[in-house]
Amino acid sequence: MNRRELFTGTAGNAACHAITPRGAQRIPNVVMRTHENRVVRFYDDLIKDRQVLINMMYATCEGYCPVITMRLVEIHEALHARMGRDLFMYSITLKPEQDDPAALKEFARMHGALLPGWTFLTGDAYDIDTLRYELFRHDHIKIDADLDAHAGQMRIINDATNRWLHVAPMASKMTVLQHIAWADPPKSFEQRLEENRRLQERIDQEVELYGYRKVI
Amino acid sequence: MSHQQADLGKTPGAAPSDARDGLDRRTVIKSGALVGAAAIITSKKSQVLAAGAPWPAPPVLCGTTTPTSPATRPFIDNLPVPPPALPVLLHPFPTRTANIAAGEAARAAHQRWSEFLPLIHYHMTAAPSLHKHHTDLLPSYLWTFNGHYPAPTPLNYYGVPSIVRFRNALPEQQDNPTFGVSEITVHLHNGHTPSESDGFAADFFGPGLFKDNHYPNVYAGVDEFGGIGDPREALHTLWFHDHRAASTAHNNFLGLNGMFLLYDAKDPSHELPTPGSLRLPCYYGITDIPLILADKRFCPAANGRNEVFQVIGNNPVVGDKWIVNGKIQPKMRVRRRKYRFRILATGPVKAWSLSLIRSDGTQAPVTVVAVDGNFLPSPVVISDRPLDVQVAMRYDVIIDFSAFPAGSKVYLRENAAQNVGVAVPDPAPGLPIGNVLMRFDVVNMDFLFPADTPPIPSVLAEMPDPIVPDGVFQWNFTLENGRFLINGQEFDHNRIDHVVLKGSSEEWVLANDVAAGNWNHPVHIHFEEGFIMSRRRRVSQNPDVFEDVPLLPEELGRRDVYPLPPQHRVVMRMRFRDFSGRYLIHCHNMNHEDDFMMVRWDIVDSLEELTRKRREIDERRMLAGLPPQYKHGGLV
């Protein structure tokens, strides 16, 4: 009995159901081109039912992008066992008119980012603007019109569970990894209890890190 | 196995196969998928509670196009009052250290546990339930505490510590049909609460687990004054809500909040002439009425429901129906006497601008007696301007209905119009129906109703001794590259941005430098109430020239939410006493909060730790290319 059967099976005729991903209603299914010059559909091929990390960059960007890309390489290293299996990274260019697949590949090579599960994407400028708005918008005209405003952010989506999160890529590695974990595939109750038990051990050992005191 | 015997060693999801057939109470309890196995480890009482209503079928949401809510006729429903929370005897009994074996979420041991041993137990189960917002609407699927929206109100007394077991019986995330995240951490806003019970944003726990929040119900200043602290530090109107990092707005929108009242000799739960009592209207639900405000938007009727509109992603949800205590445009019958209304804005984003309107269209006075639950030095009558209530702020106002003839109608007006959907003539001249939040129907007193209270005293509260700060610190609320930042950084629950010493006090400058006309941030500081010392506003675009903004009379008391409009500087002072650990400052616009306009600051016990941690902070800032925060090696 797999997990799904377990849940639907025990739920009787009541509330339980398999959740339907709603990303399709929100994320534009635009045609894009990868750094390997492959043509993909953004939602269908890249997001659907997956846990993904998305950031925006452009190859000639000298402020945030290289630093963030270096940070993402570290994140990739920490999660390499999952990358390309159930976790994917996408870096979308903000300047598609400059960044063709070759330029993106060169950028990736330069930063040591030609790694499994990590795709650099370019496409039509209009489509990318649409994507940028849907993924990162604040519903605020001044911010949303500013390209750089969206270069310093990372969106974490688990489409299978409809979970959207964001994290500042420049937060500590531990924090970024925890945020990614907040969007992890659901855990069973036993897994959760086990994690809870381990967390308690850490709290007891590292009282200070958790900001707690041993006051009675 | 019977559910009483079931323990955590057994597979919680694997109920016996007969659970498929029929849906009796026991089945509901046993089906782990529904309640995340929560009920298996609950007491018998709470099982009954959880099973009291059949589990609602999940909502079918109505797409991403923002709908217009269906029409609702005004003044059909009576104003409901959230029921008082009923104390229970918790089983398993609460423990000082987390009862991991029984499924309690990991936490540090309760501070000062034996000193403030909880005498009152409550059980609050977060679970899906159906709620009807209006007679003309079908029920909506919400997440509620104990099946009520807003949640039942714990009525507590200073000096009587309590414990609230928050149990997560929300759907497992893979079965979660809403945009909320079924992990919770509950904050009591703004209790003088030890850190491990304060609902820190990253301390959330998933379905099936529970967490005991220990509320000592003491005034701040226990170490200084002994006993239960300094009675001048009392605050009486509190509220509790989910504080889950990155999902606070959605989880609150779905209904995970409620009020929490604290009484003492000055503000007892009655109106009798007892020593020290202010004798304000104080019978909960009779003369002392919470007004819990929210805005929601509803989908067209489908599948027997009018679901609340939800979008995927982080977009703000802006309602087009104003909700008071869970109802749209309710009416309330009031006697010709004084009433106390405890107004609370639950957000996620909407700020309210309220005024009381007579049926001839003129504004009637209301008397503000408390802000954020703290009595003002003296009452403030508001009769020529609206009362601005921003997210998470509480205003206790007294309305004297004896000023109105029996049979008259009085309206509570909100400055922004809602969508009513039916053509109704203006109830009062210059008052369109869309602006009416609710209606009061004035009737004569009858002998069964409590007699009117004496006039409101001209002095309500003595302020605590003035704070002489041990240090000065500035918090800058900015918007850079599309991110809401405090002191240049987003919230990181593992990073400490400021450290203070237990028993000390500081002056903090809250600065909002975004361009004029931009966001106003209602800044909330956890732990203790503070004072606004001054408010300044930048003159034109000159970065260094500020002018003083006179404080409004209702800003003269203590508070925990500091409205911070663009180009403003608020100078406030607060103390850090009795407990230590990690606390938060954040913008209480919950969308900003979820975008991590929030910081963690810690209270430490020793000077050695203070110096060391401040040095660590400055070292870390140097590595990040930021200027140091502290002088003199961390000592201020």
Please report the pLDDT score of residue A7 as a whole number. 38
Least confident span in A6-15, A108-117, A196-205, B220-229: A6-15
The pLDDT confidence band at residue B590, using thresholds 50, 70 and 90, is very high
Please report the pLDDT score of residue A24 as a whole number. 77
Interface contact B152, partner A, CB < 8 A = no
pLDDT digits 0-9 by tens, B238-258:
999 999 998 899 999 999 999
* DSSP alpha helix (H) spans, chain A: 3-10, 23-26, 64-78, 101-110, 125-136, 141-144, 173-182, 189-205
Least confident span in A73-77, A130-134, B385-389, B546-550: A130-134
The pLDDT confidence band at residue A20, using thresholds 50, 70 and 90, is low
pLDDT digits 0-9 by tens, B172-225:
887 887 888 899 999 999 999 999 999 999 999 999 999 999 999 999 999 999
* Type of residue numbered B104: E
- The closest alpha carbon to B517, from B541, B535, B545, belongs to B541
- The closest alpha carbon to A85, from A114, A51, A61, belongs to A51
Backbone angles phi, psi at B389, to 5 degrees: -120, 110
Statement: residue B276 has pLDDT above 80? yes
Q: How many Å lie between the alpha carbon of B350 and the closest alpha carbon of chain A?
A: 15
CA atoms of A178 and A170, how far apart (whole Å): 13
pLDDT (average), residues B573-594: 94
Nearest by CB to residue B312, choosing from A152, A164, A192, is A164
Statement: residue A92 has pLDDT above 50? yes
Interface contact B514, partner A, CB < 8 A = no
Domains within chain A, CATH numbers bracketed:
20-185 (3.40.30.10), 186-216 (no CATH)
Q: In the block, which residue shows the tokens 């029996």?
A: B406
- Give contacts of B128 with chain A, Cβ < 8 Å: 15
Residue B21 and residue A136: Cβ atoms within 8 Å? no
Please report the pLDDT score of residue B346 as a whole number. 96
Q: For B282-306, b where at least 16 C-beta lie within 10 A, e where not — what string?
A: bbbeebbbbbbbbbbbbbeeeeebb
- The closest alpha carbon to B538, from B520, B522, B554, B514, belongs to B514
- Give contacts of B481 with chain A, Cβ < 8 Å: 64, 146, 148-149, 151-152
- pTM surpassing 0.90? no
The pLDDT confidence band at residue B439, using thresholds 50, 70 and 90, is very high
CA atoms of B353 and B167, how far apart (whole Å): 35
- Chain-wide mean pLDDT for chain A? 81
| Residue of higher predicted confidence among B629 and B280 | B280
Helix or strand run (H / E) with residue B51: helix B44-51
- Give contacts of B595 with chain A, Cβ < 8 Å: 138, 166
Residue A211 and residue B581: Cβ atoms within 8 Å? yes
- The closest alpha carbon to B413, from B481, B348, B355, B492, belongs to B355
The pLDDT confidence band at residue B13, using thresholds 50, 70 and 90, is very low
CA atoms of B226 and B572, how far apart (whole Å): 26
Domains within chain B, CATH numbers bracketed:
38-57+84-129+140-263 (2.60.40.420), 471-634 (2.60.40.420)
pLDDT digits 0-9 by tens, B114-148:
999 999 999 999 999 999 999 999 999 999 999 99
What percent of chain B stands above pLDDT 70?
A: 90
Please report the pLDDT score of residue A209 as a whole number. 62
Statement: residue B73 has pLDDT above 90? yes
Q: How many Å lie between the alpha carbon of B360 and the closest alpha carbon of chain A?
A: 40
| A126-135, A189-198, B171-180, B473-482: range with highest mean pLDDT | A189-198
Interface contact B566, partner A, CB < 8 A = no
Least confident span in A12-21, A163-172, B467-476, B604-613: A12-21
Name residues whose C-beta falls within 8 Å of residue B309's C-beta, 6 or more positions apart in sequence. B61, B62, B66, B67, B69, B296, B297, B298, B299, B317
pLDDT (average), residues B532-542: 87
| Residue of higher predicted confidence among A190 and A137 | A190
**Do B290 and B259 form a contact (C-beta atoms < 8 A)?**
yes
- Give contacts of A203 with chain B, Cβ < 8 Å: 106-108
pLDDT digits 0-9 by tens, A40-64:
999 999 999 999 999 988 888 877 7
CA atoms of A163 and A160, how far apart (whole Å): 8
Please report the pLDDT score of residue B320 as a whole number. 94
ipTM: 0.84
Question: Chain A neighbours among B 56-115 (CB < 8 Å)?
Answer: 56-58, 61, 63-64, 96, 98, 100, 103, 105-109, 111-114
Least confident span in B178-182, B372-376, B446-450: B178-182
Statement: residue B570 has pLDDT above 90? yes
| Residue of higher predicted confidence among A67 and B110 | B110
- Chain-wide mean pLDDT for chain B? 88
Q: What are the beta bridge partners of residue B210?
A: B104, B167
pLDDT digits 0-9 by tens, B27-50:
333 333 333 333 333 334 344 344
Q: What are the beta bridge partners of residue B559?
A: B530
CA atoms of B111 and B577, how far apart (whole Å): 13
- The first and second tokens of residue B498, run together, are 């400021």
Q: For A45-68, b where at least 16 C-beta lie within 10 A, e where not — what string?
A: bbbbebbbbbbbbbbebeebbeeb
